[in-house]
Every structure is written in C-alpha cells, then in structure tokens.
Amino acid sequence: MDERTKDILKNRLDEENYQKLTQIDNPRVHECIAKYVELGNPRSVFVCTDSAEDIRYISEKAIRNGEESELAMEGHTVHFDSYDDQARDKQHTIILVPQGVDLGQIIRTKDRQGSLDEIHEIFKDLMKGKELYVRFFCLGPTNSEFSVLCLQLTDSSYVAHSEDLLYRQGYQEFIRQGRDARFFKFVHSAGRLDERNVSTNFHQRRIYIDISDDIVYSTNTQYGGNTIGLKKLAMRLAINRASQEGWLTEHMLVMGIHGPHDRVTYFTGAFPSLCGKTSTAMLDGETIVGDDIAYLRKIDGEIRAVNVEKGLFGIIQGINSQDDPLQWKALHSPNEIIFSNVLVTEGGGTHWIGRDGEVPPRGHNHSGEWYIGKKDAQGREITCSHPNGRFTIQLKALENLDPTLDDPAGVTVSGVVYGGRDSDTSVPVEESFDWVHGIITKGASLESETTAATLGQEGIRAFNPMSNIDFLSIPIGKYIQDNLNIGRNLQNPPLIFSVNYFLKGKEGKFLNEKNDKKIWYKWMELRVHTDVPAIESPTGRMPMYEDLKRLFQEILGEEYRQEDYDRQFTVRVPENLAKIERIKKIYQTQVSDTPKILFEILEKQKLRLEKTREQFGDYVLPEKLLS
C-alpha cells in the first residue's frame, strides 16, 4: 500500500486489526478503507475475518449497543427501525451516471460528480463516536464462476450481523485472490441515532449507486432494504456487470420441484415484494435453493443459476402454522434469527400480523410502547407489527434446504416463472409458447399492484418488467435484450410460465386459496417433461381440468370443481387487450431503446385475442378453445 494509506490505517486501527488488513494483498482494498475511515471519522475500526470469534463479536456488539435486543428463545433477537424508516426509499435510491449517459426516464438517475460531492459531504464525520465494521463477503458460492467478492463498511452492528446470516464469508477469498480480486464496495452509516438507537436525519437519507466505480453509499437509514448493501443495492452493480459480460442478475427465487420417480426439476421465479415469493420458495414438499436473488449464466448449452445469498430476509406478515409450516417451525426453534419491526410481548415473545392466536393487548413495537387501538400522528391505527416486518435467518435452519445451495456449478434451470398482483387479467398458471414469447409477454409485460414493501401509495398497478425495475442500472430495452439473448441458440431453453395468486371474481374475493400454488408448480414440473398436455389459448398454454383435478386430489386431498376451474381459467379478452395497450404505450413513450420484437410479439397476441373474441365473445371458457 502507498505511504498515505498506510499512515491512515496505522494511526486509526489498532495493531491487531491493522494486521488483519495486511493479510490481504490488494492496495485497492486498503485505499477504500482508508478513504472512508478518514472521511467518516469513526471512534474505532473492527476488521472482521471469517473466524467464529470475529463473527460472534459482531452479533454480541449488536446487543450491547442496543441495535438489537434478546428475546426469550435462544438465538432470537429483535431490531426496530424508525417509524419513518420501514421500507425501501425509492425516491432517494439513485443510480449515479456520468455526463452523456442516459438510462431512460423510468430509471432514477443523477449526475455522478455532483452526487459524489454531496454524499461525501454527508459522510463527513457521520461515523464520529461509533465503531466501523469492515466486512468481507462473497455473493454466490465461493471459488465459483458465479462468485462476486464484496467489501462492506458500516457503523451498524445490526447491518453487519444481518449480513453474516445472509451471505457467505469472503475474507479468505480476498486473501486467496490478492491483487486479482475484483470486488463491489458498500459504505453505510446509520447517521445520528436517537434514544431508541434508530436513525433520525431522514432529510439526508441517501442511497446512491455509482456503477462507474462499483460502489454503493447509504446514509441515515437502518432498514435492511436500504442498508444491507449486498442485497438489492448490490443487484444494481451486478446487473451492470452482467450486461457487460453476457449473464443475468435476476430478482428470482431458485427452487427444486419434486416430480415423479424422485425427479427434481429446478425453477427460478420473479415476484415483486409481498406477492408470494418467499412462500413459494418455501413450499412444503419442495426444496429451496434461494428466495430472492439469482445469478444466471449460459454454461455448456444450458442456463444454470445460483442463489446469491445463504439466508432469508423474509416478510413475516401472514406466516402461520397451517399455511407456512416450514417457516413457522424455523421461527419457533432456537436458531439465530433477527426479527425486525414485529411486536414484542411481555416475556420476550413475538407476534405479527397474520400469526396464529389472538393479538396481544399490548407490547413493544416500531412505534414504541403499543396497545390495541393505538394511532399514529395522522390518526391511523398502528398494527401490532409493521406490514413490512421482516425476519433474517440462515437457510440451513430450514428443513427443506436443497443440497445444491453451495454447489459452485449451480443448478440447471428448466423453468422460469413470473408473477405479480393481478386481480382481473391473468389466469393462475400459464405456459408461454416459446422463450421469446415468454420473455416479452410474461416477463417484460409484468405488472403488479403496489404494496407496503415500498414507500408510497398502495394498490396502484405498477409496470415492473421481470420484477426488476427498481434495481435496474442499465436501460430497460438493453435489459430485455439481455434476457432474450441468454435463451438464444439453446437446444432446450427453459420453459417460461406466468402465475397469478391474486385473481378475483366479480364479488371481489380471491379465486385461489393460498396453497393452490402447490398445484400450479406440480403442473409446471410435468409440463417441463411433457408429461401432460395443455390447452392452447391466445395468451399461452393452460392446464387441462382433468390434470388439475388429479393433482388437487393427490397433493392437497381436495376436490377440484369444474366451476372453480372455469372461473379461474376463463380467458378475459377485454382485460388482456387493455393490458397490451398499457404495455405498448409504456414502451413507446418511456423506453427509447425497446427491441422491435417486443411490439411484434404483442401485436401477434393482440390479433389472437381479437380473433378469439370474434369466435367466442369477451369471456371464453377453456372448453371453448378445445372445439
């Protein structure tokens, strides 16, 4: 390292932590740490290696400094964010771009140099009086073609502890790769904390992603979606790198669906927040590789995927013993778990919206002391837990963990699934005609009604291609083309499906039960292996009634009625045509680099729908399509 870097580190770190850094022969690592130690001006610096002792120091520090509190069950802790810091801050999450670079009007960007000046001014002395934790991690399995190394600097022991549960340790990988290591950088400060140890200066809450330097800045926030750098913030950096190198970074679960004769078929799936993603990945009887982020590469003529993470940062609302037995068991066992923004009851128990049992009359939550009927400053009733309350846990705590989690080669992807909140248009499950049709009509055309997982108004139908729009760092058209390209020249590309768990009838009630998704995935697994036929509709291929009836009986032990099938799988021509027009307008007016094939595929779908309407009317029963 150069003399200036050496002087800063020698003066600001004790000998033990300095020696930990010198084990890594990479000047860029040392320079980055020295720069932000000098700028943030922490009281002390702790360099965390992969040792159990160092990792334990982080979790114990989170208790001692009050960012987490111990609960009654062994290993369980709770963290509270500020009442105004409960979701991803989309308004202040911004991609920094140099002059002359245009990512399109949908992606939020700012001038790079001016924003760097601003964020460095905010960071000045922001860590004063606190300890800085220096962390080394690996996204994806270590020693793999998929591996991406990461350096995290944070003054929040909660953030550092969360990342221990979520990501693979990387200190030894940094040592092994030395000067060849190419890594992402994350710099976070929770800023000034109040008496509850939560962030306060939200007027200076910033989440800036500098794709030119592979670095993310996060200030004056603690909520995991804004601060756990290796999660959605790293996605922006990885999407940019993947686009340059010909692979994909996707907002996708990875899971194994178990079929006949001990067959395991691997699927990826993209869902916006609060759309059933984690509950899908956790289906009992199936195995989970990952629930949130996947890297996909074309290797030896097939698409392979890995889980970027080793843990879950899951939404806890609605988890109950009947619908979510695997998660329920893990959450009630002595595992290492961080609960966030749930209700803590007397005696150190927890409760959340949708949990088994009566809501306790009082307790402690993100609003402070809580009781039934408590209202916020705007007169709105405060629920026992926040709708976006979370839990952070290692996947190894789950009984349905797939054995391929850490396989450096990943898994072969046989099916890709896209799903969102759609109350009136799409059928519960449908297969695309081919790769291009699926990417365009299922992925690039994905819409979803907004939820509490992001700041803003709920219930608005939001355009969200591949469920990844919030995390894109490249133009949308380029991103769609990247998805089209990865499926080219494959002898047997994965099948692409759509699912819709939120279809409603005329009376406004859901047409599906929560566990019906088990059937949709079993049917998709059979389709991958051409074990069952399908009905050709104008928008894709749908299940036959008899196949679903058999699966409902075999899997759920339930009778599946013809009238339920008809209501669920009716082709809704007006709604589908309206969706095509909405999507076309967005790509015509807001995306300047839309691939021409998108409009061609949508126009063909429009013509098929219009022809169907001429033959059968606006609402078409599946049996009509067989005639």
Residue 133 in contact with residue 153, Cβ under 8 Å?
Answer: yes
CA quadruple 50, 56, 61, 67: dihedral sign: positive
Separation between Cα atoms, residue 101 and residue 567, nearest integer Å = 48
Phi, psi of 582 (to 5 degrees): -60, -45
Q: Which residue has tokens 């003529």? A: 301
Separation between Cα atoms, residue 42 and residue 130, nearest integer Å = 5
Q: Measure CA 359 to chain center.
A: 29
Q: Which of 159, 69, 84 is nearest to 363 (CA)?
A: 69
Separation between Cα atoms, residue 599 and residue 614, nearest integer Å = 22
**Across the strands, what pairs with 339?**
78, 391
Which DSSP string do the residues of 130-143 spell out, in sequence order?
SEEEEEEEEESSSS
Phi, psi of 425 (to 5 degrees): -125, -65
Phi, psi of 433 (to 5 degrees): -75, -35
Here the tokens at position 298 are 């074309």
Separation between Cα atoms, residue 594 and residue 481, nearest integer Å = 8
Return the H-helix or E-strand segment holding 146. none
CA quadruple 65, 68, 73, 76: dihedral sign: negative
Separation between Cα atoms, residue 617 and residue 470, nearest integer Å = 38
Separation between Cα atoms, residue 405 and residue 412, nearest integer Å = 13
Here the tokens at position 489 are 């020249």
Residues 6+ apart with CB under 8 A from 549: 559, 560, 565
The strand order across the sheet containing 343-344 reads 350-351, 343-344, 362-365, 368-371
Q: Which of 93, 99, 108, 97 is nearest to 590 (CA)?
A: 108
**Across the strands, what pairs with 44?**
131
Return the H-helix or E-strand segment holding 82. none
Residue type, 490: L
Which DSSP string do the residues of 234-282 spell out, in sequence order?
HHHHHHHHHHHHT-EEESEEEEEEEEGGGEEEEEEEE--TTSSHHHHHT
Separation between Cα atoms, residue 291 and residue 309, nearest integer Å = 9
Return the H-helix or E-strand segment holding 489. none
Q: Supply the residues annotated as catalytic.
A: 275
Residue 232 in contact with residue 471, Cβ under 8 Å?
Answer: yes
SS3 of 518, please? Answer: helix
Separation between Cα atoms, residue 363 and residue 355, nearest integer Å = 15
SS3 of 462, please? Answer: strand
Return the H-helix or E-strand segment holding 572. strand 571-572
Which DSSP string do the residues of 386-405 spell out, in sequence order?
-TT-EEEEEGGGSTTB-TTT
Residue 432 in contact with residue 537, Cβ under 8 Å?
Answer: no
